Amino acid sequence: MEGYKPCVKCGLNYSERHHIIYKSSAKYMEFIPINIIYLCREHHRGNHSPHKNDKINKQYKLDFQRKLESLFIKSNYNELEISEILEVNIKEVMRIVKTLKYYEEGYRTRELIKRCLGGMFYD
């Protein structure tokens, strides 16, 4: 077991880190705290887990997308603002925005959110 944070589904204290946006689809999101939730072994790897149930996986991603949309409410952001919102250092922000175009006003919110979601939106 990885830690003592409770599972977000059942509250068990022994839990594993689950990356909502998988490392395989967005390596740059690996260390972003809001991309990580804690799940007990059953809720992380069992039959009713995001790894074995597409519906559950999609719901976690949709919830994450909504969270990003609630955090990024302006039209554009600069690196410092992104760093503060995501609670990461500038180096991590630079990994996220690496392929995004920087406009005079900053990075466009919709493009930024899409990048944080591994390149796609969920509905």
* Short-list 89, 85, 82, 83, CA closest to 108: 82
Given a cut of 70, whether residue 30 has pLDDT beyond it is yes
pTM, to two decimals: 0.92
- Model confidence over 47-92: pLDDT tens digits? 999 999 999 999 999 999 999 999 999 999 999 999 999 999 999 9
Non-local CB neighbours of 117 within 8 Å, separated by 6+ positions = 21, 26, 61, 64, 65, 68
Q: How far apart are CA 81 and CA 59, in angstroms?
A: 27
Phi-psi region of 61 (alpha: psi -120 to 50; beta: other; left: phi over 0): alpha
Non-local CB neighbours of 87 within 8 Å, separated by 6+ positions = 33, 34
The pLDDT value recorded for residue 13 is 78
Cβ distance 50 to 40 under 8 Å?
A: no
Q: Where are the domains of the chain?
A: 16-116
3 pLDDT tier (thresholds 50, 70, 90): low
The pLDDT value recorded for residue 37 is 96
